[in-house]
A and B are shown apart, each in its own frame.
Chain A
């Protein structure tokens, strides 16, 4: 109970701090989603392949190898992320689950003479968190007595990041190609948090209320410049670089806080002279917002028309991801595709999704969660010359059968406290893609 008390008190006084440090950790790992049904099946190791519309995202230089004109649609994707903070409320875990159902990809490629043109739309992240917590059997120690307390929290976050833009690719020589995708990136995030605590004291029923509303919008340009080299018909090498340039980043906040001691007079102060009731609004243009640069280096081996082996190294270089301080992050992915029959390819992939936050320093407080994920992916297609349907999915987790292959996840749930809690996360997605060649 003591822990809960601490948690609640701290949350009363520092609600926005809790929100800022983010129990929601989707920003703390870069690879929240994989684009394209075929690429997903191969762990996202697609930089040396990229020969279908989803290639516009990984390495547009691969589009020159897209055979005929193609269209690809993934309009049914389901994603689920679950974060478990161990032993946070007493010995109980605190769980947060986010899921959404959304269109994840649309793309076309078309030949124009010797050049390939494309247009693609990808949803990089789409999460809706809707969490209600209600506890009515709590007590708060006030002036030596145990006051019966109810705690009510409604927490909603919606976040959506999309990329959309045209691509162009061409051969420079017979075995070297270049490509460029000009993506506009839009990120929209809304957080609404309402906290309501009621308690009984001296025969009166008092309440304390907190509401926060944050809306954040980011517009950025995220070009992808890529090249692919095929020294012979068995091997392909790919390199793509995607820097981000933030065009505008606005964050509008509205905060209302009325602790139990406050009445209806907004000029009331506490013994130290600070106002008891807080009502703040702010419309901020954030000037120095940055997005890390994404560098992908890949190789693929084509031993026959039935088999592919591929690997990618994925680097996010940059110390700032919008308003978060991040570190350079390196990930690796491996994938394979095998045609069981001429119409049934299956794919498998394995990839890392390291946290972009620094390791938690046990002497400091208010640090961001740090959880590394290992991902497994697969896809299966029913394929003919001109069309295909693909079912793809991935499963990322910080722990498999009790073993954390990339280290245990850690978080600091309590604002202002240096204690560290163990965190587990699972992130999985299933997608259905339809493609056609024409």
Chain B
């Protein structure tokens, strides 16, 4: 009996040892893979941001910039994906629109902010954009070109601190531009971003109803002023509101409360007038 016990014990130790070694290697491998994937995302997003910044001028106001980054990054703390640094910028445009590029580059127009009443609404719109980033909507719909290009590109970024971009990458970024400025995301992705936004708002402590409130207000503004340029790349507002309401119902969270935070937002809004 003792020999048999010893035999089984040794199998136990060997199996455990082998498996833990493999697991250890797997962990390291996963970490490197994740690092690589995120680096690719950042490259993609940065290039796409350059496209966005070619069409819109940045609204240059350092204090406003800090405020919007505080709100945005504050929400991001509760949105998962701790490996990303989110960058927020205000675009100098009277239109009502917001854009997100992979890796966490998020842009919102001055016109959008002017149409908001409180910080929760701002957080809601930023949370929606963070939702696009965290769910990798652009990466999934217009993926990076396959093949050696990317490995070489990443290598040269890490090594040469340059911005080598292959023709294939250029094409990809151009397609992503078209998505942002003309065609829009897939409807499913917009609904998913809305749902993520609700989650992030609840986790952070903002009043999640701000999202629907802002959307409704924009809808009425649009009806009143047909010339005002509002994001035309989103699905109809009513559908979005309905989807959100179904989600809230399913999640039993319609009655969850949160903060609106009006005072410091109004100060911010006045400062950028």
Contact = CB atoms under 8 A, between A and B. Distances in A.
Interface of A: 67-69, 111, 113, 385-386, 437-438
Nearest to A110: B160
Interface string B152-169: 000010011111110000
Contacts of A69: 156, 160
A438 B156 CA distance: 9
A68 B159 CA distance: 9
Contacts of B161: 67
Most buried by B among A68, A385, A386: A68
Chain B at the A interface: SS class: loop
B165 A67 contact: no
B180 to A, nearest CB: 21
Contacts of B156: 68-69, 111
A438 B163 CA distance: 9
Contacts of A386: 164-165
B152 to A, nearest CB: 9
Contacts of A385: 163, 165
Kindly list the 3 A-B residue pairs having the minimum CB-CB distance in the complex, ordered from nearest.
A68-B162, A111-B160, A67-B162
A437 B166 CA distance: 11
A437 B164 contact: yes
Nearest to A65: B161
A113 B159 contact: yes
What does DSSP make chain A's interface, helix, strand, loop or mixed? loop
A437 B153 CA distance: 12
Contacts of B164: 68, 386, 437-438
Interface in B154-188: 156, 159-165
A34 to B, nearest CB: 27
10 contacts: A67-B162, A68-B160, A68-B162, A68-B163, A69-B160, A111-B156, A113-B159, A385-B165, A386-B165, A437-B164
A112 B250 CA distance: 56
Nearest to A111: B160
Looking at B156, B159, B160, the one whose CB has the most chain A CB atoms below 10 A away is B160
Interface of B: 156, 159-165
Contacts of A111: 156, 159-160
A386 B161 CA distance: 15
Contacts of A67: 160-163
A330 B142 CA distance: 59
Nearest to B162: A68
Nearest to B159: A111
A385 B166 CA distance: 11
A89 B156 CA distance: 64
A386 B162 CA distance: 11
A68 B158 CA distance: 11
A235 B61 CA distance: 27
Nearest to B167: A386
Nearest to B152: A438
Given A67-B160, A111-B159, 16 more contacts: A67-B161, A67-B163, A68-B160, A68-B162, A68-B164, A69-B156, A69-B160, A111-B156, A111-B160, A113-B159, A385-B165, A386-B164, A386-B165, A437-B162, A437-B164, A438-B164
A274 B126 CA distance: 103
Contacts of A437: 162, 164
A336 to B, nearest CB: 25
A408 to B, nearest CB: 50
Contacts of A438: 164
B168 to A, nearest CB: 13
Nearest to A114: B159
B39 to A, nearest CB: 17
B198 to A, nearest CB: 41
A385 B156 CA distance: 15
A111 B165 CA distance: 16
A68 B161 CA distance: 7
B161 to A, nearest CB: 8
B246 to A, nearest CB: 47
Contacts of B163: 67-68, 385
B156 to A, nearest CB: 6
Contacts of B162: 67-68, 437
A207 B13 CA distance: 108
Contacts of A113: 159
B164 to A, nearest CB: 5
A113 B161 CA distance: 10
A385 B47 CA distance: 13
A386 B156 CA distance: 14
Contacts of B159: 111, 113
A264 B24 CA distance: 97
A16 B225 CA distance: 94
A250 B156 CA distance: 47
B173 to A, nearest CB: 12
Nearest to A67: B162
A229 to B, nearest CB: 19
Contacts of A68: 156, 160, 162-164
Nearest to B161: A67
A68 B164 CA distance: 7
A69 to B, nearest CB: 7
A271 B248 CA distance: 126
Nearest to B157: A68
